[in-house]
Structure 1
Amino acid sequence: MYSKSGAIVHAERVFLKSAEKNSVTYTNMILGYGQHGMGEKAIRLFHSMRELGINPDAITFVAVLSACSYSGLINEGLEIFERMESEYGIKPSTEHYACIVDMLGRVGRVVEAYDFAQKLGKEGNVSGIWGSLIAACKIHRNFELGKVVANKLLEMEGADRITGYHVLLSNIHAEEGNWEHVKNVREEMLERGLMKEVGCSWIDISGYANCFVSRDKSIPCVLRYINC
């Protein structure tokens, strides 16, 4: 609870004072560290589990691999992944594979991430794996690979109904200045009945949460902040 709300110091205190620690409490703390960019702490806590005779489970590995991804600890993350099955007897699942693809993609190693996903074969035909890769391709401006990944995604059953993937492909074409392809993607979205959701922002004003979208002038108190 504390780590999810940003109070990582309080979460750490509760964890340290806990009389009975198990894989669940360790996993939650590792996850909290990861979400706050404390990847090295997450890794140290992960290794301390084994020293205390507490075996990590599959969810623990998702937590620590995610922590490595958020903090850019690629070598450490890959090493932990390699030891999953050989030392801990845990067969990687699609969630773990997605962590590796995300980890590599975040630091711009998109070709390596693509090769990793390709080698998974049918087991890797999951939108969660390829979805993070297309986002990484856009961020790191590897547009050619991004289009390959996008087309693969849109061939997957179910993924072709996810608006976000179409929007990412459209944005990649826009970044290239290929407006004809942008138009084609948008037309395909209309044919499928897909609409881009309007993004919104939440801000706290005088103790009250307020939601508004871009250029929203319907809330008087927000106008004062916009005009500042």
Structure 2
Amino acid sequence: MYGKCGLVDKARLVFVLSGPHKGVRRDVVMWTSLLNAYNRNGMFKDVIRVFEDMLVEKTKPDEVVFLVVLSACGKSGNVAKGLELFELMRKGFALVPGPEHYGCVVDMLCKAGELDSAWKFVRKEGKDGSRFGVSVWGAILSASRSCGNVEVGKIAASKALDLEPQNTGIYMELSNLYAGLGMWEEIVQLREVMEERGLKKDVGFKIDEILERNYRDGPILYWISGYIEGYSDASWCLEPDECKSTGGFIFTMGGAAVS
């Protein structure tokens, strides 16, 4: 609760008062709560420090703990540490990474501008297709657009659409890739495919437009999905007032993100 409210010092105090005492160690749930508090509030170095303290106290981390620390590495751009922790998870604690863990690693590499490394990682780990969700292929596609790598981008888009054929955000991201390279014929073909499948580009709203609609129409809950700095393929159902802290980003209502 304190962590969600930004009161990290109080969250830390509760954690400290919880132990260890009388030979009783804090359990993994307590550690995870503190890790989440730091991660949620952008204190990524503290996430790594607390994780190391957890290991010193000989509390075994679980899959959720590794998801938090991998997320922190991705947000802070600490690629080397993130890859080290991913291997620690598999080899040090014999835990099986899920699609979310692979997504964190790929997103981390892509955000660091290491598309080649991300692609090699996907090809190496991708023998079992169930390991990767849409967020992985979306991150590859987004990074391909930034680098102008149409070959990798088309493969990533195809893989993502195999999983979610109705995901208009993937189509629009691929369209943006084509546009950046002046591939206008491909854009026309892509739009024709969307029309044939009955897909339409989601209507976008800026934060100030959302707040204006809230003022005019009364309290409304909005389902907002999209890419926000530090997150990938994230979705929230937020009160409009909560959207103020994300200012400057464009979201879509009830569909995939389109910037």
CA distance in 2, matches of 1:107, 1:144: 20
CA distance in 2, matches of 1:36, 1:161: 34
**How many angstroms does 1:16 deviate by?**
3.6
**How many angstroms does 1:90 deviate by?**
1.0
Match of 1:182 among 169, 173, 187: 187
Task: Looking at secondary structure, tell me which structure has more helix per residue.
Answer: 1
Match of 2:119 among 106, 114, 122: 114
Contact 2:70 2:82 in 1 (8 A): yes
Contact 1:72 1:106 in 2 (8 A): yes
Could you tell me which residue of structure 2 aligns to residue 60 of structure 1?
65
The 3 A distance-change label for structure 1 pair 113 and 58 is same
Could you tell me which residue of structure 1 aligns to residue 23 of structure 2?
none
CA distance in 2, matches of 1:39, 1:137: 27
Could you tell me which residue of structure 1 aligns to residue 108 of structure 2?
103
CA distance in 1, matches of 2:201, 2:10: 39
Q: With the length of structure 2 as denominator, give the TM-score of the two structures.
A: 0.71
Work out which structure has the larger RCO, using CA pairs closer than 8 Å and 6 or more positions apart in sequence. 2
Helix, strand or coil for the counterpart of 1:210? helix
**How many angstroms does 1:148 deviate by?**
2.6
The 3 A distance-change label for structure 1 pair 211 and 3 is farther
**Counterpart check, 1:127 vs 2:126:** no
Structure-to-structure mapping, 1:1-228, within 5 angstroms: 1-19=1-19, 21-120=26-125, 121-123=127-129, 124-154=131-161, 156=162, 158-203=163-208, 210-211=211-212
**Residue identity in the other structure for 1:148:** I
Q: With the length of structure 1 as denominator, give the TM-score of the two structures.
A: 0.80
CA distance in 2, matches of 1:177, 1:5: 46
**How many angstroms does 1:139 deviate by?**
3.2
Q: CA RMSD in A?
A: 2.6
**Residue identity in the other structure for 2:42:** G
**Residue identity in the other structure for 1:22:** D
Contact 1:33 1:39 in 2 (8 A): yes
**How many angstroms does 1:5 deviate by?**
4.3
Contact 1:31 1:67 in 2 (8 A): no
Contact 2:103 2:132 in 1 (8 A): no
**Residue identity in the other structure for 1:173:** Y
**How many angstroms does 1:78 deviate by?**
0.7
Runs of 5+ unmatched residues, structure 1? 213-217, 220-228
Runs of 5+ unmatched residues, structure 2? 21-25, 218-259
User: Deviation digits for residues 145-186 of structure 1, max 9, x if unmatched?
Assistant: 2223213323x2x32221111111011111112122112212
